[in-house]
Structure 1
Amino acid sequence: MRRLQVPEPVIDEALLAQCRAAFPVLPASSAFSHVTAARLLGLPLSYAIAEDVRLHAIRPIAHAQTRIDGIVGHRFHHPREMVTVDGMQVVCPADTWVDMGELVGRGRPVGLDDLIVLGDACATRLGAVEPLRVALGRRTRPRGKRTLQEALGLIRFGSASPMESVVRVMFVRAGLPEPLLNEPVHASDGSGRLLGFGDLVWKIHRPGKKPVKVIGEYQGEEFHASDEQREHDKHRRRGFERDGWTVQEIWKSDVSDDQAWRSLVERMAWSLRVPADELRLSEVSPRFFSQHAIDVAIQRGMRNGVSPRW
């Protein structure tokens, strides 16, 4: 399995202190799970999910449910793999991803795109998507199964940030070819010299024509706003361009609303030589509900003579 160099997750000290205080009073065979596990593992969560500041803990179904103020008790029938964080038992990344399916649905905080972003982070941490597939396959009729399955089909190894995941999925939905993620880019002169790593890399071969070589770089403000980092980015970009690559920078303003998304997709399509009539610009909006949920709502609305409201 390929490993990607990503920064170590930063865990909120207040959360660690809260968990350290609660762990000794949890019943035996308990482990932190769901939202709490994701936060302890440093996995990306949307604002809606992260608003749940309660502690979540899980234990085998043979035991009574945990009933302690401030702690949401869960029980499991299918075994989970555990990891240790600061000496505390925590459900592992792959099983935590499946557990988040319990929080999917209308009025709940977890949607399809949340599971894709979370799944990308888990796959990159674990070195492959397969551990997520195995974890889901171990469960019999898990909650949120349809949404988890749809998300699984869109999860990829290699994303180094939540926005890289969001941008990739939106590009694919809009009809652009799927890029490679954080791919090493080597000089084309045969020297094997590494020019750098591209966030989103396309190299498309066309019969009788020069290959289309495009790199999309998401310029997160937290990593690319300093003068020093900007100078480094400029030097790296020049190296890519001298080797025949087109570099498209993607900023927060490019993904601020649907119109900005459409403009970004059209710009990338021009660089990738994708005809405008092949684009699906109506698909650039974020997706909360799975296609199955949408289809069911439409069918129900047709039977009742009303249109579904999202």
Structure 2
Amino acid sequence: MIRPFSRQEALARGVTPRRLRAQDLWTPTPGVRSVEVPLTLLERACAFAVAAPNDFAFARATAARLHGMPLPQCLEEDPSIHIVTRTADNRVRRGEVVGHRGLETRRVVEIAGLPVVSPADTWVDLGEYVGPGRPVGLDDIIAAGDAAANLERSVESLAVALRRRVRPRGKVTLDYALPQVRMGSRSAMETRSRLMVVRAGLPEPEMNLELYSPSGDWLGMGDLGWKEERVVGEYQGVEFHSRETDRRQNEVRRERIEEGDWRYLEIVSADVFEEMARAVKLREIAVTLGRSPHLLRLHEAGPQFFAPAKYERPRRRRS
């Protein structure tokens, strides 16, 4: 794609104002032209960057999407470009842009040449979307935290970013979520599967555990792995059930793992989100791990949107 360019840049190179008004050029944001329509978020961000202030970074949902952090569908489809500038600077006012302040309190990294708020600080910023009537829940925050920890290569980076803020929005949920964040998860559904298992009272699995046969042959990676029990749980998305070639590849992989002396458990979306299917799956996992299914906390194993009310700090009474 030919990069977007500013109107001033084009005029300086001898392009006439009439040519800049031609029908074959697009105006993705005021003062910017492009030969092609910016369709992806990255293309739209590149177009905005041409006309952006000197000191800014992409933030909030825009930063999370650029980092590849999982978000609820409504934020994945958010048409706005979110940016953050310094508190002392004027807020950017453009139709497609939502401006925020506080750049000086956030670490910035680079993606495709663009300034983007770091994964850890972006995770803290997602607290702004948490609360009654807002789109992000506890499990969404934990899933995004798992992805951010992978990008930062440490959970501690998230803790540092959270401690650095003074009363960030959603702090109660962020504080409650942080101890549940783990490295290794490759998708939001892997994270949700882990949370389901742990909340039911079963041993916590290792995420994306390397699997070896008794003779030392490498068999692959397991989404959720219990090394001592030699049990592996694999989350299977819709794509593994939609095409015959995908199903066959998965069957071959399962056969290889089971021949390597591992017991294989398949987890699908219904096992996480539907109460009856979840109970059946958790009992299967418990029996396979050698645990009593009668001790499962099935009522606690479902998805959670809010941090428990008992976790909220007591409010100070007025004298």
TM-score if structure 2 supplies the norm length?
A: 0.80
Q: Is the 8 A contact 1:157 1:181 kept in 2?
A: yes
Counterpart check, 1:252 vs 2:278: no
1:280-299 alignment, distance < 5 Å = 280-291=297-308, 293=309
Deviation, 1:287, is 1.0
The corresponding residue for 2:47 is 21
Deviating more after overlay: 228-237 vs 113-122: 228-237
1:18-97 alignment, distance < 5 Å = 18-76=44-102, 79-97=105-123
The corresponding residue for 2:258 is 241
Count residues with an aligned counterpart. 278
Q: Deviations over 1:125-170 (max 9, x none)?
A: 3322222122212222222111111111111111111110111011
The corresponding residue for 2:10 is none
Task: Provide closer, same or farther for how the CA distance between residues 158 and 36 of structure 1 changes in structure 2, counting only shifts above 3 A.
Answer: same
Task: Provide closer, same or farther for how the CA distance between residues 58 and 163 of structure 1 changes in structure 2, counting only shifts above 3 A.
Answer: same
The corresponding residue for 2:18 is none
Please give the alpha-carbon distance, in whole angstroms, between the structure 2 residues aligned to 1:187 and 1:178. 22
Please give the alpha-carbon distance, in whole angstroms, between the structure 1 residues aligned to 2:288 and 2:277. 17
TM-score if structure 1 supplies the norm length?
A: 0.82
Unaligned runs of 5+ in 1: 1-11, 205-211, 301-310
Answer 1 or 2: higher relative contact order, Cα 8 Å, separation at least 6. Answer: 1
SS at match of 2:184: coil
Q: Is the 8 A contact 2:123 2:144 kept in 1?
A: yes
The corresponding residue for 1:9 is none
Please give the alpha-carbon distance, in whole angstroms, between the structure 2 residues aligned to 1:239 and 1:41. 34
1:80-159 alignment, distance < 5 Å = 80-159=106-185
Task: Provide closer, same or farther for how the CA distance between residues 78 and 88 of structure 1 changes in structure 2, counting only shifts above 3 A.
Answer: closer
Instruction: Indicate the percent of aligned positions where both proteins have the same amino acid.
Output: 45
Deviation, 1:282, is 0.6
User: 1:272 is matched by which residue type in structure 2?
Assistant: L
Task: Provide closer, same or farther for how the CA distance between residues 240 and 165 of structure 1 changes in structure 2, counting only shifts above 3 A.
Answer: same
CA RMSD, 1 decimal? 2.3
The structure with the largest alpha-carbon Rg is: 2
Q: Deviations over 1:30-53 (max 9, x none)?
A: 111000111122221111332432
Unaligned runs of 5+ in 2: 1-37
The corresponding residue for 2:295 is 278
Please give the alpha-carbon distance, in whole angstroms, between the structure 1 residues aligned to 2:194 and 2:111. 31
Please give the alpha-carbon distance, in whole angstroms, between the structure 1 residues aligned to 2:134 and 2:305. 10
SS at match of 2:128: helix
Please give the alpha-carbon distance, in whole angstroms, between the structure 2 residues aligned to 1:281 and 1:167. 14
User: 1:85 is matched by which residue type in structure 2?
Assistant: I
Please give the alpha-carbon distance, in whole angstroms, between the structure 1 residues aligned to 2:131 and 2:310. 11
1:188-207 alignment, distance < 5 Å = 188-189=214-215, 192-204=216-228
Q: Is the 8 A contact 1:102 1:143 kept in 2?
A: yes
User: 1:290 is matched by which residue type in structure 2?
Assistant: A
Task: Provide closer, same or farther for how the CA distance between residues 241 and 76 of structure 1 changes in structure 2, counting only shifts above 3 A.
Answer: same
Deviating more after overlay: 163-172 vs 234-243: 234-243
The corresponding residue for 1:306 is none
